[in-house]
A and B are shown apart, each in its own frame.
Chain A
Amino acid sequence: MDRIPALHRRLKELERMNFQRGKILSFTTIRHPPAGFGPEPYIVALIEHLDGSKSLAQLTREGIPPAIGAEVIPHLRRIRTMRSGLHINDLKYEVIETQGAPLFTMHAYVLALTGPSGVGKTTITRSLLSLFHPLVEQVPLVATRRPRKTDLEPFVHVSEDEFEAMVARGEIIAHTVFTDRHEYRAGYRREDIEAVWKQTRLPIVTTDIRLLEGLSKALGRETILSCGLLPPGTSRRRMLSALLHRLRSRGQNTEEQIELQLRSAEADMKAFSTKSDLFDHLFVNDRLETCVESIKELVVPQN
Chain B
Amino acid sequence: MREIVYVLGGGQTRFGELWESSLLGLIREAVDQATLNTGILPTDIDAVVIGNMLGGEAAEQAHLGTLVSGLLPHHPPALRVEAACASGGLAIHTACAFLESGKAETVLVIGAEKLTDIPGDNVTGALMHAADAEKDAPSGLTFAGVFALTALSYMHTYAITRDDLSLVSFSSHRAAVSNPFAQFRREIPVETISKSPLIADPLRLLDCSPISDGAAAVILSTRRESPVRIAASQLASESLSLIDRPGITSFGSTRTAMSHALAEAGWDRNSIDCIELHDCFSVATLIHLEDLGYCEEGEAIRLFKQHDTESSGSLPVNVSGGLKACGHPIGATGVKQILDCYKQLTKQAPNQVKGATRALAHNLGGVGATCTIHLLEV
Residues on A lying within 8 angstroms of B by beta carbon are 6, 10, 25-35, 37, 42, 44, 46, 53-58, 68, 79-80, 90, 106-107, 217, 219-223, 277
Contact = CB atoms under 8 A, between A and B. Distances in A.
Contact of B162 (A37, A46, A222): A222
B152 A32 contact: no
Contact of A57 (B139, B150, B244): B139
Contacts of A35: 121-122, 125
5 closest A-B pairs by CB: A220-B161, A28-B148, A54-B243, A26-B153, A26-B149
Contacts of B155: 107
B125 A34 contact: yes
Given A56-B136, A222-B162, A30 B125 contact: no
A44 B139 contact: yes
Interface of B: 121-122, 124-125, 128, 133-136, 138-142, 145, 148-153, 155-156, 161-164, 191, 194, 197-203, 241-244, 248
A25 B161 contact: no
Max chain B C-beta neighbours (<10 A), residue from A26, A32, A217, A222: A26
Contact of B149 (A28, A58, A107): A28
14 contacts: A27-B152, A28-B152, A29-B200, A30-B140, A30-B200, A31-B198, A34-B121, A44-B139, A46-B242, A56-B242, A79-B140, A90-B138, A107-B152, A222-B161
A117 B257 CA distance: 59
Nearest to A197: B159
Contacts of A31: 197-201
Contact of A58 (B139, B150, B151, B202): B139
A53 B191 CA distance: 40
Contacts of B136: 56
B202 to A, nearest CB: 8
Nearest to A68: B156
Contact of B156 (A32, A90, A107): A107
B90 to A, nearest CB: 26
Given A44-B139, A58-B140, A34 B149 contact: no
B54 to A, nearest CB: 14
Contact of A220 (B128, B134, B162): B162
Nearest to B203: A28
A222 B163 CA distance: 9
Max chain A C-beta neighbours (<10 A), residue from B241, B242, B244: B242
Given A31-B198, A68-B152, 19 more contacts: A25-B153, A28-B151, A28-B152, A28-B200, A28-B202, A30-B142, A31-B201, A32-B124, A34-B124, A35-B121, A37-B140, A44-B149, A46-B248, A56-B242, A57-B139, A79-B138, A107-B152, A107-B156, A220-B164
Contacts of A55: 135, 243
A26 B150 contact: yes
B150 A44 contact: no
Nearest to B163: A220
A33 B140 contact: yes
A195 to B, nearest CB: 14
Nearest to B57: A1
A90 B139 contact: yes
Given A34-B121, A35-B121, A29 B201 contact: yes
Nearest to B149: A26
A29 B198 contact: yes
A27 B134 CA distance: 19
B199 to A, nearest CB: 6
A245 B248 CA distance: 57
Nearest to B243: A54
Max chain A C-beta neighbours (<10 A), residue from B124, B139, B153, B241: B139
